[in-house]
Amino acid sequence: MTALAPISPDAQDLPSLIDRAASMLSGAKTAAEVLEARNMAGLAYDVAKRAARLQRAKSAHDDLVAAAHRAQAHALEIEARAKRRLADEYDAAQARGEVFGAHNGARNRVEGSNAIAATVDLGLRRDQIHEARQIRDAEAADPGIVRRALDERLERGEEPTRAALRKMVVDAAMRGLRPQRPASRRNPLYVPPTPARAAWQHVTGTFRAFAEWATDENLTLARQGMREARDEPFHDLDAQAIARGAAHFTQITEWLHAE
């Protein structure tokens, strides 16, 4: 893994840190770059968490504390996206025989340039891989669960922490697993979806959920909320996320028309 590049004093403000983490993840091509983006998002989360505690200690205005909490939520969302990618990267490498778990990596190494990496060589612990898989599986079972979990905490005026997000993600992952068990008992011919089919189900589930939510009333409220948020420090990040989502939506629509 490459070391994080030095951060200039001008980049120490939260929006810059979060924007940098998002940009790093968006441009990441390798597992090492994804890991670097995850670490940057983790740094932004820690800075935001300290800022929120400092504002509370100063009995600052609620808006300042809420802004710090929102920064935490943005950082956690980026970190969660990075973890999902790491889970996919790790599982793919493991399927290719390029990496083994920490418990058996050492005895599977060979001499020379063909050495097989262990999790510790990649800067990952087994519990971190397990958590990354849980986040990925939870999003597959309940698309958008990470963002909704964070938004729920913000709406209640509660701090969006890693622990709270982890609990909601685990619950979602377990809900996604439960329906499969009785189904497999009732139908012995049941075959789990391929990774490609599961990916498509994730896409359709995400768009179906949004289409059901996007009533005229909800869209009107969303537009009003957009106008109210224009002066907030993270409005540009929201706009960038929407632009990326719109680009993917256009790409998927082109697939449908091309088939």
pLDDT at 40 > cutoff 90: yes
pLDDT category, 176, cuts 50, 70, 90? low
Report CA torsion sign: 83, 212, 235, 254: positive
**C-alpha atoms less than 13 angstroms from C-alpha of 201 in its C-beta half-sphere:** 13
pLDDT value at residue 43: 92
Residue 176's identity, in one-letter code, is G
pLDDT-derived band at 108, boundaries 50, 70, 90: very low
Res 173: pLDDT:
67
pLDDT, one tens digit per residue, over 55-87 is 777 776 677 888 888 999 999 999 999 999 998
Nearest of 181, 153, 179, 157 to residue 166 by alpha carbon: 153
Give CA separation, 105 vs 95, 102, 117, 125, in Å: 14, 5, 6, 12
The pLDDT value recorded for residue 235 is 72
Percent of the chain clearing pLDDT 70 (strictly above): 76
Which one has a higher pLDDT value, 203 or 47? 47
Q: How far apart are CA 165 and CA 43, in angstroms?
A: 17
CA–CA distance, 204 with 95 (Å, rounded to integer) = 27
Token couple for 179: 């329906």
Region of residue 13 (phi > 0: left; psi between -120 and 50: alpha; otherwise: beta): beta
pLDDT score at 105: 42
